[in-house]
């Protein structure tokens, strides 16, 4: 089996790849290039390839000054699921979050993303809140690592 290659999303090709994965998996919250650049300034964004093939992306939102909670999000494109890649992406993000001082790990999943919710529950997360953002109809689920 080939090795996954993780690359920080800081240049335009990597940011475009990260945006592609995000927008495929979370279409109701599709992001523009400017929104992705802004996120890259405050979060750790990585793209993940298997050889030359884009497999997924990760987001680590570092703990804020007043909390020890980080958010770790692992996204795998549908055609690459069920091969253990999500676990590898998640473990890397978890390690990065802990290296940034996180004591509590959370994630967020689009409620309609049944695969993502199943993955989070299987990896020890528990649902803490369901919500719809003001002016929107999309339901989100926040989960915390038990």
The number of folded domains in the chain is 1
| Residue 54 · residue 46 · CB < 8 Å | no
Q: What is the pLDDT of residue 113?
A: 92
CB within 8 Å of 73: residues ≥ 6 apart: 58, 59, 60, 61, 93, 107, 108
Query: In which domain, by residue range, is 104 found?
Result: 4-145
Share of the chain above pLDDT 90, in %: 94
Give the mean pLDDT of 43-60: 97
Q: Which CATH number fits the domain that encloses residue 70?
A: 3.40.630.30
pTM above 0.85, yes or no: yes
Give 67's pLDDT tier (boundaries 50, 70, 90).
confident
In the numeric block, which tokens belong to residue 73?
């999000």
């Amino acid at each position: 089996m080939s090795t996954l290659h993780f690359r920080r999303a800081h240049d335009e090709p990597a940011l475009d790849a990260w945006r592609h994965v995000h927008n495929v998996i979370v279409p109701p919250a599709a992001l523009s290039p400017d929104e992705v650049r802004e996120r890259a300034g405050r979060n750790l964004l990585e793209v993940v390839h298997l050889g030359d093939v884009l497999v997924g992306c990760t987001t680590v939102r570092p703990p804020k000054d007043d909390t020890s909670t980080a958010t770790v999000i692992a996204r795998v494109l549908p055609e690459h699921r069920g091969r253990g890649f999500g676990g590898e992406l998640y473990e890397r993000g978890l390690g990065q979050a802990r290296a940034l001082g996180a004591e509590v790990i959370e994630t967020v999943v689009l409620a309609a993303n049944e695969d993502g919710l199943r993955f989070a529950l299987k990896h020890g997360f528990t649902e803490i809140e369901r919500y719809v953002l003001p002016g929107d109809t999309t339901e989100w689920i926040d989960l915390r690592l038990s």
